[in-house]
Amino acid sequence: MNSLSRRLGLAFIGVLLASILLFMYIESGAQQAASHIESRDLIRLLKQQDGIWDNEVLKSRIALSHNYDPLVSPLNEMSRLWQRLDAIEAAPGRHAPELWSTQRDEYLKALKEKTRLVEQFKSHNAVLRNSLAFLPTAEDDIQRQFALLSDNDKLRLQSATIDTYDLLLATLEFAQITTQDQAAEILMGLNQLDINKERLPDGLVSSVEILRRHIALILREQPLVNQLLRDFEAVPLAARLDTITHILEKDQEKAAAKHQRNHIMLLVFATLLVLILIWLAVRLVRSFGEIKRVNSALQTANDELEQRVEERTRQLKDTQSELMDTARQAGMAEIATNVLHNVGNVLNSVNISADLVSRKLRSSKALGLGKAMNLINEHNHDLGHFLTEDEKGKLLPGYLNQLVEAIAVEQQSLTDELAQLSKSVDHIKDIVSTQQSYAGANSLMEPLAVSELLEDALRMNSGALTRHHVTVIKDYGEVPRIMGDKHRLLLILINLISNAKYAMAGVSNHARNMTLKATVVDDETLQISVKDEGEGIPEENMTRIFAHGFTTRKDGHGFGLHSCALAAIEMNGHLTAHSEGPGTGATFVLQLPLKLAEGEP
Amino acid sequence: MASHGLILALCLLVGYSVTTHAEPLDEPLKPLPAAPALDPKRVQLGQRLFNDPRLSVNNTLSCASCHRLDKGGADDKQFSLGFDGKPVEVNTPTVFNASLNFHQFWDGRVDTLEEQVHIVVTSPVEMGSDWKTVVKRIADDPGYARDFADAYPSGVTQPNIQGALADYERTLLTPNSRFDQYLLGNTDILTPREKFGYQRFKEYGCIACHQGVNIGGNMFQKFGVMGDYIQDLGNPTRADEGRFNITGDEADRQVFKVPSLRNVAVTAPYFHNGSAPTLERAVEVMFKYQLGREPLKNDTQLIVEFLKTLTGEWEGKPL
């Protein structure tokens, strides 16, 4: 129990460690790092585009480029890049929501401002560059027309053209160095130009007027463009991107620190897991040792056990042979018991016969003869007188005659009883001789009349039957003489009759009838049944009644039916019992193969 | 000699052209880019929608009603008529090459073609509709419903209708103008007068604003740098205030998107108010009010001739 809980605890710790490792692995996944790298990359590209934008603006400023497409395309590119960046950074859990939205607003505000300034710059710069580019042409135009004038006019208008030229130079200078002084100078030049215009011929006036308008435009636009560029440079777009970069860097630092921490934790937990594994491995190796040790012990025990089993087997064999000897002896005892039982049964008849003879002898009429002789002896002297005269004497001859008759009857009865007695003794002799030849002795087959056999059996029980007031009903069918083992048949019949008698010992409410029946079934089986109307056999005893040692009687020894069944089997027949249950009586049926005696049909 | 023959044979084998093309010219004007690769299903849907009057509230106007591809991508009216038959505020600009403009509308109020679609569909003077109606009409058409479902995972939606139209418009480029061929190095394609015209175009400073791939369309400019054209024309309208109406910035008064000059010869009348019926007149106005210059005799004509070389092709035919 203890070790089981310890093992469970260990497994739990192992699983816990493994899940922590898994969790940390997922936690420190490359996702964030990858998106971080992408964000940094996008910001770098944004800054690059911003730089390109600045560069293109400056190129337009110094009239290096006359194509304004490059001032548009970076914005498109930037908005595309920003969308991607925003998609990554606005993802939940990336930043505190306000932090990113603030950054986004700041950036977009700066971008909008810069875009506005660029748009204005484009518009103003385009016209400014145009006018500046036109100045030399305008001057040429004026000079060309001036050249066409008459010398007189030329001389007269010399100062005007010089003024114009000065103004042109001042304007060009103004384009480079835009100062208030320069602006004031140009303004003075323009005023001078207006004054000079009065003196100029018509053709020149329009040319000068065109020049004047363009210079005025430059005077107006140049500071504006310069201011736009200053504003443009002041737009903190790059700074916004730097701030975002800074935030991302801090995030990354945090992430890196977390990563580092995770790494250390991973290392620690992994080490723990490895230690547990090592410990388990050590345990395993030890367990192997243990198992090996136990195995060898088991082997030894096994060997010992085998030895012991062998020894025991030998002992058992010895015991068995002893037992067999014992059994043999016991068998002999059983045989003896059987013999004694059967002998006992017959002895019963002998005893009855002897008792009968002794009783008859005790009440013998022969005693009357003695009395008669005494009477004669008393009257010896006057015997004649006595026999003829005396009252008593006259009766004496008649008495003696009667006595002779009575004695003769008595003698006959005694002779019969003694014949019975000797028959029983013969039976005992038979039993003994039969039992002596039990083991392997062939049964003695002799011609028998079944009815005689039954009568013999009844006779042997007759005293008891009479005592128990058992009425025997004889139902002998047409049974021919058979060849049979008289002794075994008698043994069985006596036993069955005796049992029927005992079975009806407790019956008091009706007549004690016992039916003996002999029939031939199917011309090949002799069937003898003994039916009583006694206590019957309970269902549960049906199979046990033939077992050795089974008895329902207090003083019974349980050999009777057992030896009967054995005897029936020895005669190639069988003995069966039938009963409807307790109180319904029982029928025992002996079936034997029919072997007709010689001379029978 | 034999090795030369071998090289020549190899060159022929690998299809290497031995006739060398002239290098593209490095000019402030840039040749038209190739049309972008877009989902043909969406472009086709856009085309159908472009010609579908169900976009207008009373089923009278389609995009193509005003942007007639057979009339240079616009119509020839000073002001197109809205769904209610009343004229709209500004002259219809061409839809051709509109995707190359940095903003849409004369006042540049939106940045994308998608937004442009939205403004026109919902404008009370143009199509006068609303998206609920439009989306329902389109979605109720089994053909549209099927094709939208095919082209867009989300089927018929407002953004998808806008997207399809915008995608279609992105394909409306007019390549192969003679001037583009000139820029790509085929300098013989222009006549000397046209070349002179281009030269004047540059000299007078037209190019200050009309440059880039779309020859304009990449900046805002005040209409009337050198004079007040609108004042001179009389009857100023709200639309004449241009970008000011969008930004409210005084500096943006009468500021408009510089229009593209591509196909300019076939998109009369000109300017936001369609006040110049001919190209010559438009060029003259530009000279006077934008450039503040007096063109020399013939120069206007030369520039007009140059401008006519900017007409490109649509579906293989010149506009």
Question: What pLDDT digit, counting tens, does each position of A341-400 carry?
Answer: 777 777 787 888 888 888 888 887 777 888 888 878 888 788 788 778 878 778 888 888
Q: What is the mean pLDDT of residues A461-476?
A: 82
Looking at residue A372, its pLDDT comes to 80
A127 contacts on B by Cβ (under 8 Å): 208, 221-222, 225, 290
Give residue ranges of B with CB < 8 Å to any A CB: 28-30, 102, 203, 205, 207-209, 211-213, 218-222, 225-226, 251, 255, 290-294
pLDDT of residue A31: 58
Place of tokens 């009706």: A510
Section A55-74 average pLDDT: 87
Higher-confidence residue: B194 or A16?
A: B194
Would you state the pLDDT for residue B19? 42
Cα B83 to Cα A560, B87, B116: the distances in Å are 132, 9, 17
pLDDT digit string, tens, across residues A201-258: 887 888 888 889 999 999 999 999 999 999 988 888 888 889 888 888 888 888 788 8
Angle at A203 between CA A201 and CA A208, to 5 degrees: 90
Range in A23-32, A389-398, A496-505, B304-313 the model is least confident about: A23-32
* The predicted structure's pLDDT at residue A435: 61
pLDDT over 90 (residue B105): yes
What are the structural domain ranges in chain A?
Answer: 34-239, 363-431, 443-593
Check if the beta carbon of residue A453 is closer than 8 Å to that of residue A568: no
CA angle A322, A324, A330 (to 5 degrees): 105
Structural domains of chain B, with CATH: 40-170 (1.10.760.10), 178-318 (1.10.760.10)
Residue A221, CA distances (Å) to A226, A247, A582, B225 in order: 8, 40, 142, 11
Q: Across the interface, do B212 and A69 touch by the CB < 8 Å criterion?
A: yes
Q: Residue A33's pLDDT band (boundaries 50, 70, 90)? A: low
Cβ of A134 within 8 Å of Cβ of B293? The answer is: yes
Of the pLDDT bands very low, low, confident and very high (cuts 50, 70, 90), residue A330 is low
pLDDT at A148 over 70: yes
Lowest-pLDDT range of B17-31, B67-81, B173-187: B17-31
Question: CB distance A217–B294 less than 8 Å?
Answer: no
Residues of B labelled as active-site residues: 126
Instruction: Read off the pLDDT of each residue in A247-273 and give the average, rounded to a whole number.
Output: 84
- pLDDT over 50 (residue A439): no
Q: How confident is the model at residue B281 (pLDDT cuts 50, 70, 90)?
A: very high
Within chain B, strands assigned E span 220-222, 255-257, 313-314, 317-318
Compute the mean pLDDT over every residue in chain A, rounded to the nearest whole number: 83
Nearest to B169 by CA among B31, B39, B47: B47
Q: What is the pLDDT of residue B253?
A: 93
pLDDT at A551: 73
Q: Are strands A470-476 and A512-521 parallel, antiparallel or unpaired?
A: parallel
The mean pLDDT of A104-125, rounded to a whole number, is 92
Q: Residue A426 and residue A116: Cα distance in Å, rounded?
A: 155
Cα–Cα distance, B207 to A130 (Å, whole number): 9
State the smallest CA–CA distance between residue A125 and chain B in angstroms.
9
Residue in A56, A65, A131, A220 to test binding to B, most B beta-carbons within 10 Å: A131
Q: Do A66 and B292 touch (CB under 8 A)?
A: no
The pLDDT value given to residue A441: 45
**Burial of A178 by CB count in 10 Å (0-12 exposed, 13-18 middle, 19+ buried)?**
middle
Which among B209, B266, B221, B268 has a CA at the least distance from the CA of B108?
B221
- Test the A interface: residue of B203, B218, B220, B223 with most A CBs within 10 Å: B218
Pick from A67, A120, A217: CB nearest B212: A67
Closest Cβ–Cβ partner in B28, B29, B205 for A130: B205
CB–CB of A69 and B209 under 8 A? no
Digit-coded pLDDT (tens) for A299-309:
999 899 888 88
CB atoms within 10 A of CB A9: 10
Distance CA(A509)–CA(B131), nearest Å, equals 118
Distance from CA of A72 to the nearest CA of B (A): 7
pLDDT bracket for residue A334 (50, 70, 90): low
Q: What is the DSSP letter of B112?
A: S
User: Who's near B116: CB < 8 A, 6+ residues apart?
Assistant: B98, B104, B105, B110, B166
Please state, in angstroms and as integers, the Cα–Cα distance from residue B166 to each residue in A176, B64, B312, following that order. 45, 14, 21
Query: Can you state the percent helix, strand and coil of chain A, rounding each to 5?
Result: 75, 10, 20
Q: Are B306 and B197 in contact (CB under 8 A)?
A: yes
What does the alpha-carbon distance between residue A403 and residue A367 come to, in Å, rounded to a whole number? 10
Query: Is the confidence at residue A559, as pLDDT, over 80?
Result: no
- What DSSP character marks residue B270? B
- DSSP β-ladder status, A574-579 and A525-532: unpaired
Q: Which pLDDT score, from 0 to 100, does residue A433 have?
A: 64
What residues of A are in the B interface, CB distance below 8 Å? 65-69, 71-72, 119-120, 122-123, 126-127, 129-131, 133-134, 137, 206, 210, 213-214, 217
Neighbours of B308 (CB within 10 A): 18
pLDDT score recorded for residue A438? 47
Q: Which residues of B58-92 are buried (b: 16+ CB within 10 A; e: fewer)?
A: eeebbbbbbbbbebbbbbeebbbbbbeeeebbbbb
Phi, psi of A138 (to 5 degrees): -60, -45
B111 to chain A, closest Cα gap in Å = 10
Range ranked top by mean pLDDT from A407-411, A432-436, B266-270: B266-270
The architecture CATH gives domain A34-239 = Up-down Bundle (1.20)
Q: Which of B211, B290, B294 sits opposite A66 (nearest CB)?
A: B211
**Mean pLDDT confidence for B98-123:** 94
| CA–CA distance, A217 with A125 (Å, rounded to integer) | 11
pLDDT of B101? 95
Distance (Å, whole) CA A562 – CA A543? 12
> Residue B21: its pLDDT value, please?
56
Chain B CB contacts of A118 under 8 Å are none
Architecture of A443-593 per CATH? 2-Layer Sandwich (3.30)
How far apart (Å, rounded) are the C-alpha atoms in residues B158 and B155? 10
Our measurement of the distance from residue A198's CA atom to the centroid of its chain's CA atoms, rounded to an integer in Å, reads 120
Taking the C-alpha atoms of residue A541 and residue A547, their distance in angstroms, rounded to an integer, is 10
- Which of A390-404, B172-186, B206-220, B288-302 has the least mean pLDDT? A390-404
- The band of B38, judged by pLDDT with boundaries at 50, 70 and 90, is very high
Indicate the residue of A66, A71, A217 with minimum beta-carbon distance to B207: A66
A283 half-sphere exposure, CB direction, 13 A CA radius: 10
Interval A478-485 mean pLDDT: 84
pLDDT band at B14 (very low <50, low <70, confident <90, very high): very low
Q: Give A386-391's long-range contacts (Cβ < 8 A, gap of 24+).
A: none
Partner-chain residue, chosen from B207, B219, B293, that has the shortest CB–CB distance to A123:
B219
Tell me what the mean pLDDT of segment A461-473 comes to.
Answer: 81
Per-residue pLDDT reduced to its tens digit, B134-187? 999 999 999 999 999 999 999 999 999 999 999 999 999 999 999 999 999 999
- Closest-CA residue to A149 (of A138, A163, A160): A160
Residue of chain B with shortest Cα separation from A123 = B221
Q: What is the pLDDT of residue A327?
A: 57
Report the 10 Å Cβ neighbour count for A304. 10
A167, A188 contact by CB (below 8 A):
no
Q: Quick one: what percent of chain A has pLDDT higher than 70? A: 91
Give A588's strand partners.
A530, A577
Choose the closest CB to A133 out of B205, B219, B225. Answer: B205
Give the pairing of strands A525-532 and A512-521: antiparallel
Q: How far is B52 from chain A (nearest CA, A)?
A: 31
Closest chain A residue by Cα to residue B227: A213
Query: What token pair was written down for A428?
Result: 């005992």
Contact A418, A351 (CB under 8 A): no
Q: Is the peptide bond before A480 cis (omega within 30 degrees of 0)?
A: no
Whether the per-residue pLDDT at A30 is higher than 70: the answer is no
Structure-block tokens of residue A147: 């050249």
Alpha-carbon distance values, B72 to A160, A271, B67, B175 (Å)? 51, 77, 8, 13
What are the CA-CA distances from residue A359 to residues A352, A372, A410, A458 (Å)? 10, 22, 11, 22
Q: How far apart are CA B283 and CA B270, in angstroms?
A: 10
Residue of chain A nearest B206, judged by CA positions: A130
Average of per-residue pLDDT across A471-494: 84
The region of weakest confidence among A72-76, A421-425, A569-573, B11-15 is B11-15
For residues A186 and A174, the answer to whether their CB atoms sit within 8 Å is: yes
Going by C-alpha positions, the residue among A187, A186, A174, A181 that lies closest to residue A226 is: A174
* Residue B16 in this model has a pLDDT that exceeds 50: no
